[in-house]
Amino acid sequence: MKKNIVLFSLFVLPIVAYLFFASGVNSFTKLPTITPKIADFGDWKSLNGKKISLNKKITVLGFSGSHILSNRGNYFNLNEKIYKRYNGFEDLQFVVLCPLGTEAEAQKLVDALAPFTDVSGWNFIFASPEEIKTFYNQLHLKGKLNDDLGTSNIYIVDKERNLRGRKDKKDYKEGYDMFHPSELSNEMLDDFKIILYEYRAALKKNHNATKQL
């Protein structure tokens, strides 16, 4: 009996502890800020005419480039791995910044998603190439837009307009590559849960403070 206890302590407990901490490495931390207080959108038109703002919304932000349909697989991946799971969350929005002149392609993408997705949470907004470059440059990211003003990366922006990610040198992450479903299912989903937990914890704290008052 003692021998079994010793073996259990030596071999099983360390494995259990490792799995626990490995699976929840970010569970009890705050997701770092990569770029604080980024600019809000300009007075740019969206497909449905809504005014879109980064203020007071958790935003999943993308840059489509001028060949939206050629990269539609990226948006199908994001739709399946993240959007469908969290669409309907009141303080969340999905926004894709597109060059002017790509409105028809963006509409075709929305129409392609519509048969199996509630597309009301997808927001495509349109700006000039110069405005897109200026907006992207103030994010101060290591990654760059391609010649078509797009990227396969998607970004998380919090309600205070801070772009969030991972700052550790060994695991730096300023955006999440939509081309790889596994990256969305693992790294992005993990980090996204942290953001949601932060706000839920803050809401609970404020609610308790109000009750005490």
Average pLDDT, the chain: 87
Which residue type is seen at 21?
F
Residue type, 33: T
Q: Which CATH code for domain 30-212?
A: 3.40.30.10
- 70 phi, psi to nearest 5 deg: -65, -25
Q: Rounded to the nearest 5°, which phi and psi values hold at 60?
A: -95, 115
Query: Of all residues in the chain, what percent carry a pLDDT higher than 90?
Result: 73
pLDDT > 70 fraction of the chain, expressed in percent and rounded: 83
Report d(CA 158, CA 161) in Å as an integer: 5
Segments making up each domain of the chain, as ranges: 30-212
pTM value is 0.83
Does the pLDDT value for residue 5 go beyond 60?
no
Sequence-distant (6+) residues with CB within 8 A of 82 are 60, 184, 188, 189, 192
Q: What pLDDT score does 25 carry?
A: 44
For the cut 70, the answer to whether the pLDDT of residue 91 exceeds it is yes
pLDDT at res. 90: 86
Q: Which residue has better confidence, 14 or 98?
A: 98
